[in-house]
Amino acid sequence: MYQKISYIFSICFICFCSCSSREKHTASPSDLQSELDQIVLNTEVEITGLLYHRFGEAKYPSTSISRGLFKEQLAFLESNNFEVVTLSEAVDKLTSADEKGKFVIITIDDAFKSFINNGFPLLQEFGFKATLFINTETVGSGDYLDWEELKFLVDNGIEIGNHTHSHAYFLDIDPADRYQVFSEEVKKAQAIIEEKLHIKPVVFAYPYGEYDLEMKHVIRDMGFVCAAAQNSGVISGYSDLYALPRFPMTDLYGKMPVFKEKIAMKALPVIKTIPELTIAEQNPPVLEIILDDIEIEYRQMQCFIQGGDCEIIYPDSNIFSYRITSDRSLTARHHLYTITVPDKENRNWYWFSFQWIFPDKKE
């Protein structure tokens, strides 16, 4: 793979912080872009991120995976000698110049009890690690894990990540108050986790995968090494450490033929997206991606859009720049533009997705 300085942040910001309060930024995103340090990540490392929620809860088909299918997935990873790492270990590999290869991370959002009952025993059976994101307000209530169960998981090698206190729709909050509320939520969750589990999480996941420029800034300033989003794709040296992609895994989206395809996917080397923000300002939105120099069969590029047919606008001269849009207005709060393309030999496929958020729409 080509070695190149990767622009790992899709949106950038001036880096200054305060332990008690934050000064509101007034510079434009383009101005902030030039202020950010460029970080070199290892493009010889690729990591497939997998996102789970519930295990063996058939009444929640949109977020659950059966125990049998999860075991098949783990068996495939074992038989094909994949190294499964935690999210923080994945960041270590991305920032190390000596690493190379393909790795897998298993992440679980929200900490439902079905993980300890149906998911964790299988991880133990195969000797695999995982990262579990918890929203502290719900711990011990309803069908969520309690602190004793979470302590058991920590003692048995599960990494804990911060998922805020209340798991709110923070983009629904007026920008005048949003960042203070968000910062306080993250700090509150961090303090509770430290008190109850005696650990300090270093990884974060945005509730519902929603974030904006300043929210990413808050997470970075607090010392988190990365943040996970909910767009699908492969993590690589071209990724944004504060909006890492993960493939959702459910009975619908995780069947073995699809699972094997996603595990085999490579990261499309996108060095810039226009716009950089995922919050849609027009409908349908238009996305431009600029690729690193790579040997792909660009005329076989495919795009997929939820709720619309996809149009790719090919450039006249620069074959590394493409514009993607939908043929109709999008109606849901979240939409993905997903792009896949093979290499020249049609042996490897590359994947990239971009999540659009319409904060004025409800789930």
Q: pLDDT for 47-75, tens place per residue? A: 999 999 999 999 999 999 999 999 999 99
pLDDT value for 35:
38
Phi-psi domain of 233 (left: phi exceeds 0; alpha: psi -120 through 50; beta: other): left
The full set of domain ranges for the chain reads: 29-267, 271-357
The one-letter code for the residue type at 57 is E
What is the dihedral angle through the alpha carbons of 336, 351, 105, 259, rounded to the nearest 10 degrees? 90
Ranges of the chain with pLDDT below 50: 1-27, 30-37
CATH of 29-267, one of 3.50.50.60, 3.20.20.370, 1.10.150.130, 3.30.420.40: 3.20.20.370
pLDDT value for 20:
34
Q: Is the separation of the CB atoms in 268 and 237 below 8 Å?
A: no
d(CA 288, CA 253): 27
Nearest Cα neighbor of 265 from 184, 338, 319, 174 is 338
Pairing of strands 45-52, 101-109: parallel
Structural element, H or E, at residue 71: helix 67-79
Domain 271-357 in this protein, CATH class:
mainly beta
pLDDT value for 1:
40
pTM given for the model: 0.89
